Amino acid sequence: MPFLPYSMQCCVRRRSALPMKLVADMICKAGATHVISLDLYRKEIQGFFGVPVENLRASSFLLHYICCNIPDYRNAVIVAKNPKIMHKATSFAEKLRLSIAVIHGEVKDDDMSEDNESFSSFFDKEEIRNDASIAQTYDIFQLKNVKMKPPLTVIGDVGGKIAIIVDNVIDEAQSFIAAAQLLKQRGAYKIYVIVTHGLLNADAPALLEDSVIDKVIMTNTIPHEMHKLRCHKIETIDISLLISDAIRRIYNEESMAQLY
Protein backbone atom coordinates (compact mmCIF):
# COMPACT_ATOMS: atom_id res chain seq x y z
CA MET A 1 0.00 0.00 0.00
CA PRO A 2 2.16 2.91 -1.24
CA PHE A 3 -0.25 5.38 0.37
CA LEU A 4 -1.95 4.12 3.51
CA PRO A 5 -5.62 5.23 3.58
CA TYR A 6 -6.76 7.13 6.68
CA SER A 7 -3.14 7.55 7.77
CA MET A 8 -3.75 11.25 8.41
CA GLN A 9 -6.43 10.30 10.95
CA CYS A 10 -4.00 8.77 13.41
CA CYS A 11 -4.21 11.28 16.27
CA VAL A 12 -6.64 11.23 19.16
CA ARG A 13 -8.72 14.39 19.47
CA ARG A 14 -10.54 14.63 22.79
CA ARG A 15 -12.60 11.43 23.12
CA SER A 16 -12.96 10.66 19.41
CA ALA A 17 -12.24 7.33 17.73
CA LEU A 18 -8.98 6.48 15.98
CA PRO A 19 -9.82 5.53 12.35
CA MET A 20 -6.26 4.54 11.44
CA LYS A 21 -6.16 1.93 14.21
CA LEU A 22 -9.41 0.43 12.90
CA VAL A 23 -7.99 0.26 9.36
CA ALA A 24 -4.81 -1.40 10.66
CA ASP A 25 -6.85 -4.02 12.52
CA MET A 26 -8.96 -4.70 9.41
CA ILE A 27 -5.85 -5.20 7.27
CA CYS A 28 -4.39 -7.66 9.79
CA LYS A 29 -7.69 -9.52 10.22
CA ALA A 30 -7.93 -9.85 6.42
CA GLY A 31 -4.76 -11.97 6.51
CA ALA A 32 -1.91 -9.56 5.73
CA THR A 33 1.45 -10.84 6.96
CA HIS A 34 3.60 -7.89 5.88
CA VAL A 35 2.78 -4.27 5.00
CA ILE A 36 4.77 -2.04 2.65
CA SER A 37 4.08 1.69 2.59
CA LEU A 38 5.86 4.90 1.71
CA ASP A 39 6.48 7.93 3.93
CA LEU A 40 3.82 7.28 6.56
CA TYR A 41 2.14 10.41 7.90
CA ARG A 42 3.45 9.48 11.36
CA LYS A 43 6.04 6.78 11.95
CA GLU A 44 4.14 5.72 15.08
CA ILE A 45 1.45 4.27 12.78
CA GLN A 46 3.66 1.17 12.46
CA GLY A 47 2.70 0.31 16.04
CA PHE A 48 -0.97 0.01 15.06
CA PHE A 49 -0.25 -3.16 13.10
CA GLY A 50 0.30 -6.63 14.49
CA VAL A 51 2.52 -7.53 11.51
CA PRO A 52 5.84 -6.09 10.24
CA VAL A 53 5.54 -2.72 8.48
CA GLU A 54 8.12 -1.43 5.99
CA ASN A 55 7.99 2.37 5.98
CA LEU A 56 10.04 3.11 2.87
CA ARG A 57 11.44 6.53 2.00
CA ALA A 58 10.87 8.47 -1.21
CA SER A 59 13.46 11.11 -0.33
CA SER A 60 16.16 9.68 -2.63
CA PHE A 61 13.83 9.98 -5.63
CA LEU A 62 12.77 13.50 -4.67
CA LEU A 63 16.35 14.63 -4.10
CA HIS A 64 17.40 13.18 -7.44
CA TYR A 65 14.64 15.17 -9.14
CA ILE A 66 15.82 18.40 -7.50
CA CYS A 67 19.41 17.87 -8.60
CA CYS A 68 18.57 16.88 -12.18
CA ASN A 69 15.49 18.92 -13.04
CA ILE A 70 15.68 22.23 -11.18
CA PRO A 71 18.13 24.58 -12.90
CA ASP A 72 20.40 26.46 -10.52
CA TYR A 73 19.12 24.47 -7.55
CA ARG A 74 22.21 25.59 -5.63
CA ASN A 75 20.47 28.95 -5.35
CA ALA A 76 17.44 27.36 -3.71
CA VAL A 77 16.13 27.31 -0.16
CA ILE A 78 14.20 24.42 1.35
CA VAL A 79 10.96 25.63 2.93
CA ALA A 80 8.98 23.78 5.59
CA LYS A 81 5.30 24.63 5.10
CA ASN A 82 4.80 24.47 8.85
CA PRO A 83 6.94 23.63 11.89
CA LYS A 84 5.61 20.05 11.96
CA ILE A 85 7.47 19.23 8.73
CA MET A 86 10.80 20.70 9.90
CA HIS A 87 12.42 17.28 10.26
CA LYS A 88 11.88 16.50 6.56
CA ALA A 89 12.93 19.97 5.42
CA THR A 90 16.07 19.77 7.56
CA SER A 91 16.97 16.38 6.06
CA PHE A 92 16.58 17.75 2.52
CA ALA A 93 18.59 20.87 3.31
CA GLU A 94 21.45 18.90 4.85
CA LYS A 95 21.70 16.44 1.96
CA LEU A 96 21.55 19.19 -0.67
CA ARG A 97 23.67 21.59 1.41
CA LEU A 98 21.09 24.33 1.12
CA SER A 99 19.67 26.86 3.56
CA ILE A 100 16.31 26.33 5.20
CA ALA A 101 13.25 28.44 5.97
CA VAL A 102 10.04 27.70 7.81
CA ILE A 103 6.57 29.19 7.53
CA HIS A 104 4.83 29.86 10.80
CA GLY A 105 1.21 30.79 11.40
CA GLU A 106 -2.10 29.81 9.86
CA VAL A 107 -4.24 30.90 6.96
CA LYS A 108 -7.32 32.82 8.04
CA ASP A 109 -10.36 30.57 7.85
CA ASP A 110 -13.02 32.60 6.05
CA ASP A 111 -15.64 29.91 6.56
CA MET A 112 -15.17 30.02 10.29
CA SER A 113 -15.49 33.81 10.36
CA GLU A 114 -18.68 33.59 8.31
CA ASP A 115 -20.09 31.04 10.74
CA ASN A 116 -19.24 33.31 13.65
CA GLU A 117 -20.96 36.23 11.94
CA SER A 118 -24.11 34.21 11.29
CA PHE A 119 -24.02 32.91 14.85
CA SER A 120 -23.67 36.48 16.10
CA SER A 121 -26.56 37.72 13.96
CA PHE A 122 -28.76 34.95 15.38
CA PHE A 123 -28.08 36.12 18.89
CA ASP A 124 -28.65 39.73 17.88
CA LYS A 125 -32.19 38.76 16.90
CA GLU A 126 -32.66 36.81 20.10
CA GLU A 127 -31.51 39.83 22.07
CA ILE A 128 -34.43 41.81 20.71
CA ARG A 129 -36.94 39.16 21.75
CA ASN A 130 -35.43 38.32 25.11
CA ASP A 131 -34.03 40.26 28.00
CA ALA A 132 -30.53 41.72 28.11
CA SER A 133 -29.16 38.90 30.27
CA ILE A 134 -29.10 36.51 27.28
CA ALA A 135 -26.96 38.89 25.25
CA GLN A 136 -24.62 39.37 28.18
CA THR A 137 -24.22 35.61 28.59
CA TYR A 138 -23.45 35.24 24.89
CA ASP A 139 -20.82 38.00 25.04
CA ILE A 140 -19.00 36.16 27.82
CA PHE A 141 -19.29 32.86 25.91
CA GLN A 142 -17.92 34.45 22.73
CA LEU A 143 -14.92 36.02 24.46
CA LYS A 144 -13.92 32.70 26.01
CA ASN A 145 -14.08 30.83 22.71
CA VAL A 146 -12.28 33.27 20.41
CA LYS A 147 -9.13 31.64 19.03
CA MET A 148 -6.72 34.10 17.47
CA LYS A 149 -4.61 32.71 14.64
CA PRO A 150 -1.19 34.29 14.08
CA PRO A 151 -0.64 35.52 10.51
CA LEU A 152 1.66 33.65 8.15
CA THR A 153 5.30 34.63 8.49
CA VAL A 154 8.54 33.31 6.99
CA ILE A 155 11.50 32.59 9.23
CA GLY A 156 14.56 32.60 6.98
CA ASP A 157 15.85 34.43 3.92
CA VAL A 158 14.15 33.58 0.61
CA GLY A 159 14.83 36.81 -1.29
CA GLY A 160 16.21 36.23 -4.79
CA LYS A 161 16.13 32.44 -4.39
CA ILE A 162 14.22 29.41 -5.62
CA ALA A 163 11.82 28.26 -2.90
CA ILE A 164 11.25 24.51 -2.64
CA ILE A 165 8.30 23.73 -0.36
CA VAL A 166 8.45 20.17 0.97
CA ASP A 167 5.71 18.15 2.66
CA ASN A 168 4.42 14.59 2.90
CA VAL A 169 0.91 15.05 1.52
CA ILE A 170 -0.93 17.63 -0.55
CA ASP A 171 -4.70 17.35 -0.30
CA GLU A 172 -6.27 20.79 0.00
CA ALA A 173 -4.22 23.31 -1.97
CA GLN A 174 -5.12 26.49 -0.08
CA SER A 175 -2.33 26.27 2.49
CA PHE A 176 0.30 25.65 -0.20
CA ILE A 177 -0.98 28.54 -2.31
CA ALA A 178 -0.99 30.89 0.69
CA ALA A 179 2.58 29.85 1.51
CA ALA A 180 3.65 30.40 -2.11
CA GLN A 181 2.10 33.86 -2.20
CA LEU A 182 3.95 34.80 0.98
CA LEU A 183 7.24 33.52 -0.45
CA LYS A 184 6.67 35.58 -3.60
CA GLN A 185 6.11 38.66 -1.47
CA ARG A 186 9.39 37.96 0.32
CA GLY A 187 11.32 37.85 -2.96
CA ALA A 188 11.40 34.21 -4.09
CA TYR A 189 11.46 34.23 -7.90
CA LYS A 190 10.46 30.60 -8.46
CA ILE A 191 8.44 28.23 -6.32
CA TYR A 192 8.34 24.43 -6.39
CA VAL A 193 6.17 22.14 -4.27
CA ILE A 194 7.59 18.66 -3.70
CA VAL A 195 5.52 16.04 -1.87
CA THR A 196 5.36 12.27 -1.62
CA HIS A 197 1.60 11.76 -1.83
CA GLY A 198 -0.71 13.79 -4.08
CA LEU A 199 -4.29 13.39 -2.89
CA LEU A 200 -5.49 16.64 -4.53
CA ASN A 201 -9.00 16.80 -3.15
CA ALA A 202 -11.88 18.83 -4.60
CA ASP A 203 -10.71 21.77 -6.75
CA ALA A 204 -7.04 21.53 -5.77
CA PRO A 205 -5.74 20.94 -9.35
CA ALA A 206 -7.56 24.01 -10.70
CA LEU A 207 -6.40 26.15 -7.79
CA LEU A 208 -2.79 25.07 -8.29
CA GLU A 209 -3.02 25.81 -12.01
CA ASP A 210 -4.05 29.41 -11.31
CA SER A 211 -1.55 29.94 -8.47
CA VAL A 212 1.95 31.45 -8.37
CA ILE A 213 3.43 27.98 -7.87
CA ASP A 214 5.61 27.04 -10.84
CA LYS A 215 5.63 23.25 -10.48
CA VAL A 216 4.11 20.59 -8.23
CA ILE A 217 6.16 17.39 -8.04
CA MET A 218 4.75 14.22 -6.49
CA THR A 219 5.29 10.48 -6.66
CA ASN A 220 2.80 8.04 -8.15
CA THR A 221 1.76 6.47 -4.84
CA ILE A 222 -1.71 7.72 -5.80
CA PRO A 223 -2.89 7.80 -9.45
CA HIS A 224 -3.38 11.39 -10.60
CA GLU A 225 -3.53 11.21 -14.39
CA MET A 226 -6.92 12.95 -14.39
CA HIS A 227 -5.58 15.69 -12.14
CA LYS A 228 -2.80 16.40 -14.63
CA LEU A 229 -5.43 17.25 -17.23
CA ARG A 230 -6.64 20.07 -14.98
CA CYS A 231 -3.20 21.20 -13.81
CA HIS A 232 -0.28 21.17 -16.23
CA LYS A 233 2.14 22.08 -13.45
CA ILE A 234 2.02 18.57 -11.97
CA GLU A 235 4.99 16.29 -12.62
CA THR A 236 5.21 12.66 -11.55
CA ILE A 237 8.12 10.72 -10.09
CA ASP A 238 7.86 6.96 -10.57
CA ILE A 239 8.65 4.95 -7.44
CA SER A 240 7.56 1.55 -8.77
CA LEU A 241 11.16 0.28 -8.73
CA LEU A 242 11.39 0.91 -4.98
CA ILE A 243 8.12 -0.90 -4.25
CA SER A 244 8.92 -3.84 -6.52
CA ASP A 245 12.39 -4.23 -5.00
CA ALA A 246 10.85 -4.28 -1.52
CA ILE A 247 8.38 -6.98 -2.57
CA ARG A 248 11.19 -9.05 -4.09
CA ARG A 249 13.33 -8.79 -0.95
CA ILE A 250 10.47 -9.80 1.33
CA TYR A 251 9.54 -12.74 -0.91
CA ASN A 252 13.16 -13.96 -1.05
CA GLU A 253 13.71 -13.21 2.66
CA GLU A 254 16.51 -10.77 1.90
CA SER A 255 17.61 -7.82 4.01
CA MET A 256 15.64 -4.58 3.64
CA ALA A 257 18.44 -2.43 5.04
CA GLN A 258 19.64 -1.18 1.64
CA LEU A 259 16.24 0.40 0.93
CA TYR A 260 16.45 2.78 3.91
Same domain, 65 and 185: yes
Same domain, 81 and 185: yes
The answer to whether 83 and 136 are in contact (CB under 8 A) is no
Other Cβ atoms closer than 10 A to 163: 28
Same domain, 157 and 212: yes
pTM for the complete prediction? 0.81
Query: Of 145, 171, 196, which residue sits at a domain end?
Result: 145
Query: Of 145, 167, 200, which residue sits at a domain end?
Result: 145
Same domain, 228 and 177: yes
Same domain, 30 and 128: no
- CATH code at position 13: 3.40.50.2020
Domain of 121, in residue numbers:
110-145
Structurally, how many domains does the chain consist of? 3
The answer to whether 198 and 228 are in contact (CB under 8 A) is no
The tens-digit pLDDT sequence of the chain (260 residues) is: 999 888 876 555 555 567 888 899 999 999 999 999 999 988 888 989 999 999 999 999 999 999 999 999 999 999 999 998 999 999 999 999 999 999 988 776 544 444 444 444 444 444 445 555 544 544 544 544 555 668 889 999 999 999 999 999 999 899 999 999 999 999 999 999 999 999 998 899 999 999 999 999 999 999 989 999 999 999 999 999 999 999 999 999 999 888 87
Same domain, 79 and 188: yes
Same domain, 102 and 159: yes
Same domain, 163 and 214: yes
Going 220 to 224 to 225 to 229, the CA torsion angle's sign is: negative
